[in-house]
A and B are shown apart, each in its own frame.
Chain A
Amino acid sequence: MHMRTLDQTTQEVVDLASKHFNVPAGSLAPSDDFFKKLGIDSLQALELLSRLENHFGIELPDYEVQGVSDFRTLAERIQSRL
């Protein structure tokens, strides 16, 4: 099984988010605030989380992403559970 680097994980998170919310690939950056950039609310962010869980094959408890609003931090939380 190959291990992803944090950069790879981050890129996959960004790609999935752009797919899920239908924005052009390349328009999102790791440091972006996804609430602001995508104009989404906390519930839509939870939807994204479910999609990420399926993709990475992990469970992310809600508390892990409490207060997280940028892709890179989100990727770090995922990385620690891979």
Chain B
Amino acid sequence: MLDLSKYQSIGAALKDALTAFSRETCLIEADRDREKERLTYKDFQNRAHPLARALQDTGFSAGYRASIIMTNQSKWLISAYSIFFAGGVLVPLDYKLAASEHWQLLKHSGARVLITEYPIWRQLAAAPERASAENVKLVLVTEAPANADLAGAQRWEEFRNSNEPTFAPRERKDIACIVYSSGTGGRPKGCMMTHENYLEQCVALTSLYPFWPGVRYLSILPTNHAIDFMVGFFGPFICGACVIHLRTLRPEFVREAFPKYKITYVSLVPLVLKNLQKGLQARFDELPSGKRKIFDFLVAANKALTKSKPRPGLSRKLLSQIHANFGGELRAIIVGGAFTEPQTLQFFYDLGIPVANGYGLTEAGTAITVNDLNPFRADTVGKPLPGMEIKIVAPAEDGVGEVYVRGKTIMAGYLNDPELTTETFSDSWLKTGDLGRIDPTGHLILSGRKKNMIVTEEGKNIYPEDIENAFESLPVKEFCVFAANYVWPKRSMVGEQLILALHLENNQEYTDSLRNDIIARNNRLLNYKRVHGVVLLGEDFPRTASLKIKRNILAERLAQLDRTSAILSL
């Protein structure tokens, strides 16, 4: 691993890594059962430098912003490296957003360059919102068919200049990436992450979960997400490890990839992990009773032998068939993006597959706490990473209070929103809006949320105000969307739901036709953004002088209703 303390920027560290590990394999890309590409670090450099040069030829220089909207693939990483090499600021966006949301964030970010895939570009180019993002001057599109209409874009594959690019140095305090933690529809939250944030986070994470040449990381979580960016790009690259991309994420192809590529690490969201658990459990349940008894005995033995720490060699021998399915070399499943239920974590740990769960926020870098497996504690989200300070503010009698964090991986602030930045910090402490307590051994136990938002099992952060557009001009006096647990605080991190609070007109009734209107609008939202039920309130919503709804006060009024009877399900 490179000594990151010597580096000022992501670009400088990656540049040296490409030379230091030039003959190691850095990327493998597969589509279904077909391997499409295998690149060494030298090959990677050969692909990236002509792109960096061509970018520089357009005047792209230090501090310019460039966005990537792509599924996980080698061109994502090649493009990102080229941007950093030229001193650019990367704006990674979630490819799953709608075209209108993409343009909104592209405009907000001030990106000058957009690098995307043809199928995504087809939708982006057709969206009327394109006209408003005048800042985007250059669009590069990968994998466009030969006769495709590029709608003003250029082909990524042809955008190159074989002259050597000039490396643009950056300093630790400079912004490396603008990462959106939410803010589609409402108020964009563009977290400004510095080079120092990434360099420090990488050192902390690799001290617990190391990479080295020969490690194979399976990249499934979207690379725009902080976790995959760190453990599926920056972390493995500065250690000479290999990243595997699959162009389709169907369960059957993902399953095949484990034994085929002898995967060392993979990151998953809790939903996928739970599905994996369900699948395995169903197979165990089908075992004939004799075999099942032996299997249960082996799991019990493994559990007893790994109580204080994981023993991967031993677990692989004891439960060889299970481990063979995972390729036999899996060291840990990294799970993130949302809260994972303890029983799921324990299930895998007992099979000898440690799950590295943790707790993080985009605003705080990749992770704040990580389970160090020493010993494994399924009931917690682990201990603070080296260099990270946590304090619990205004704890109740049971020790639960709001989690504040401080450290070198915390963002510089929100882009173009000093007001929101000020609200989010208390001196140098980042207010997470999550509730928890620290146990006597230093582990953080999360127990609910203080802020008005939910996180789905797929790792999506949803801010209620961001989905209110869907109910615009609903024929009622006024409405507001809330996280149910924000209105009726609950000590729970699972089963979070959104509710639509309605104030009907005088003499108006909550009729079937109104309900159907709400359902129809709800169905136009992506499934994870839908509201679960309606709550009726027979009084005017409290508003500020500028007529904005005072959400906190409205929430207090709603809280006086009985939660169970107040929520009318849709």
- List chain A positions with a Cβ less than 8 A from chain B: 33, 35-36, 41-43, 46-47, 49-50, 59, 61-64, 66-67, 69
Inside 8 A of A46's CB, which chain B residues have their CB? 249-251
Instruction: Provide the bound-state CA to CA distance between A62 and B249, in Å.
Output: 7
Q: Does B422 contact A (CB under 8 A)?
A: no
Q: Which residue of A lies closest to B246 (CB)?
A: A62
Q: What is the distance, in angstroms, from B495's C-beta to the closest C-beta of chain A?
A: 14
Q: Mask for B524-543, Cβ within 8 A of A = 1, else 0? A: 00110000000000000000
Which residues of the partner chain A approach B271 to less than 8 Å between Cβ atoms? 41-43
Assembly CA distance A36 to B33 (angstroms): 32
16 A-B pairs besides A42-B271, A61-B247, A66-B95 with CB distance below 8 A are A33-B523, A35-B527, A36-B527, A41-B271, A43-B272, A47-B250, A49-B250, A59-B32, A62-B247, A62-B250, A63-B95, A63-B117, A63-B120, A66-B96, A67-B98, A69-B526
Please report the total number of B residues contacting A with Cβ < 8 Å. Answer: 21
Question: Once the chains bind, are A50 and B250 in contact (CB under 8 Å)?
Answer: yes
Residue in B96, B98, B251 whose CB lies within 8 Å of A47: B251
- CB pair A64–B119 under 8 Å, yes or no, is yes
Q: Which residue of A36, A41, A47, A61 is within 8 Å of B248 (Cβ)?
A: A61
Count A-B pairs with CB separation below 8 Å: 46
Complex CA distance for A67 and B249, rounded to whole angstroms: 15
Interface pair A42/B523, CB less than 8 Å apart: no
Least CB separation from A66: chain B residue: B96
Q: How far is the CA of A69 from the CA of B250 in the complex (A)?
A: 17
- The verdict on B472 contacting chain A, using a C-beta distance below 8 Å, is no
Cα separation A78 to B128 with both chains bound (whole Å): 26
Q: Are A43 and B119 in contact (CB under 8 A)?
A: no
Q: What CA separation (Å) do A49 and B119 show in the bound complex? A: 18
The 6 closest A-B pairs by CB, nearest first: A35-B527, A63-B119, A46-B250, A62-B248, A33-B523, A43-B275
Give the residue of B71, B252, B272 whose beta carbon is less than 8 angstroms from that of A63.
B71
Closest residue on chain A to residue B249 by CB atoms: A62
Interface CB pairs A-B, < 8 A, 6: A41-B275, A50-B250, A62-B248, A66-B95, A67-B96, A69-B527
Give the CA-CA distance A64 to B120 in the complex, in Å.
9
- For the complex, what is the distance from the CA of A35 to the CA of B249, rounded to whole Å? 18
Contacts of A66 in B (CB 8 A): 95-96
B468 at the interface (CB under 8 A from A): no
User: Most chain-A CB neighbours within 10 Å: which of B32, B249, B527?
Assistant: B527
| Nearest-neighbor residue (CB-CB) of A70 within chain B | B523
